[in-house]
Copies of this chain bind each other. A is one copy, B any other.
Amino acid sequence: MLHAEIIAIGSEMLTPYRTDTNSLWLTERLNSIGIEVKFKSVVGDDESILEEAIRDAMKRSEIIISTGGLGPTEDDITKKVFSRVLQRRMVLNDAVLAKIQARFARRDMKMPEINSRQALIPDRATALENNNGTAPGILMTDNKCIFVLLPGPPREMKPMFEEQVMPKLRERAGDIVLLRRQLSIFGLTESGVDERAAPIYKTYKNPTTTILFGKGQIELHLTAQAKTEAEANKLLDELSGKLEIVLGDNVFSLRNQELEEVVGELLSFKQYTLATAESCTGGLLAGRITEVPGSSEYFKEGVIAYANEAKVDLLGVPNRLIEKHGAVSPEVAEAMAIGIRRRARSTIGLGITGIAGPGGGSDEKPVGLVYIGLADEIQSSSRKFMFPGDRQFIRTLAVNAALDMIRRRIR
């Protein structure tokens, strides 16, 4: 089995404000082709420390991946230091330069002189095309090691690695396959999941199972190791099949989808349309729903009715309902759902009203209280939730709960 290590480069990564998340994604991709990550490090913009870190890495691992430090400025030292360790000259690569210039030209800008530095490529190295930024990546090898220098921004790093590096590493990695499958679960607590699932997954050594918990959603990650993909898939099928039986329709995806993607698929499949009326979530629900490409097919419109007058005016919520029950009430949530459905002429209407805090709570209606209403052609209803945490967390949990209510209604 091949071993890799990952070096995150940049002084900002040594502040209290930044954490290296690139390495998590890279680890997942490497593991998937049977390459294990043995060591991770974070280095500032310090040439001698980086040089030492590279030399140490070469003693331990066959694959050395760096992220960051490929920008055009003085403190972007990655290429320079790797070249020094590997004793390579830096050569101006005309093709890369032309590409960077073209990128600026497309936006009607002249390339600043400083960016030409990004076209310097070490001798005998392969420049990796960056389709989402100016900094090219670098791939080079010596007798023993493969070196992969990637840009720091995930949206530049990920496609570059996936398209241009993975195929080469896959060739080297040989015939061990690590496959993962993720059961995404909503509607059970962590211990609720564990009580049902542990008696099953504990009897398996391969696949191994990890439970992850975050923002109301729970994930069971199964990892199978085998000689072939087919064999690994067979192992995963068996265990995940058993787990699905005990977890029931709380499992919303086996393919690492988000709730909004699953909801989108269900809406498309049934040819239903959706409209939303939000108060405390302030547009986040619509934002999540429209994150999905093609959502314009089923998402008709949304209204963010913060003020009571907007609830009355835009959604036709009766004034007396707000006066009698308050804006945060099951009655108003349901009326919002009915109102937006009627206005948008959609199959399903959804309304959210609640108190996200930090202000606005009372003994009777504390921060975290959220009502979600759902209306379709035949019926309307609402559910009450008490969410923990701060403003941001409460809003996220409310959006997830709303998406799950839509999912269960359509299924």
CB distance from A322 to the nearest CB of B (A): 15
Please encode chain A, from 15 to 28, with 1 for each CB lying within 8 Å of some chain B CB and 0 for all others: 11111110111011
Q: How far is the CB of A150 from chain B (nearest CB, A)?
A: 15
- State how many angstroms separate the Cβ of A190 from the closest Cβ of chain B: 7
Question: Which segment of A161-169, A261-269, A295-303 sits at the interface?
Answer: A295-303
Query: Which listed residue, B21, B210, B393, touches A19 by the CB 8 Å rule?
Result: B21
Residues of A in contact (CB 8 Å), total 104
How many copies make up the complex? 2
A283 within 8 A of B: yes
Which residues between 335 and 388 of chain A lie within 8 Å of chain B, taking CB atoms?
Answer: 343-344, 357-360, 386, 388
Interface pair A194/B72, CB less than 8 Å apart:
yes
CA distance A220 to B231 in the complex (A): 51
Instruction: Tell me which residues across on chain B come within 8 A of A211, comparing CB atoms.
Output: 71, 73, 75
Closest to A344 in B: B310
A115 CB-CB contact with B under 8 Å: yes
CB of A40 closer than 8 Å to a CB of B: yes
Q: Does A94 belong to the interface (CB within 8 Å)?
A: no
Chain A 183-210 per-residue mask, 1 if CB under 8 angstroms from chain B, else 0: 0000001111011001000100000001
Q: Which of A139-147, A232-240, A286-294 contacts B (4 or more CB under 8 A)?
A: A286-294
Q: Is A79 an interface residue (CB 8 A)?
A: no
Report the separation of the CA atoms of residues A388 and B130 in the bound assembly, to the nearest whole angstrom: 13
B314 lies within 8 A of A301 (CB): yes
| Residues of B close to A43: CB separation below 8 A | 39
A301 to B36, CA, bound (A): 51
**A244 close to B (CB within 8 Å):** no
A190 adjacent to B303 (CB under 8 Å): no
Chain B nearest CB from A250 CB (Å) reads 16
Among candidates B13, B15, B72, B132, residue contacting A190 with C-beta atoms closer than 8 Å? B72
Known pairs A28-B16, A56-B56, A191-B72; A41 contacts B41 (CB<8 A): yes
A24–B31 CB distance below 8 A = no
CA distance A23 to B16 in the complex (A): 8
Chain A residues 249 to 288 lying within 8 A of chain B, measured CB to CB, are 276, 278, 281-287
Q: Which residues of B contact A53 (CB under 8 A)?
A: 39
Which of B37, B293, B300, B389 lies in contact with A132, CB distance below 8 A?
Answer: B389
A42 touches B44 (CB 8 A): no
Does A248 make an interface contact (CB < 8 A)? Answer: no
Contacts of A71 in B (CB 8 A): 190, 211, 213
Q: Could you show 16 A-B contacts with beta carbons less than 8 Å apart?
A: A10-B210, A12-B212, A39-B53, A41-B41, A72-B194, A73-B211, A74-B198, A281-B287, A283-B302, A284-B284, A284-B287, A300-B306, A301-B303, A303-B314, A304-B304, A314-B343
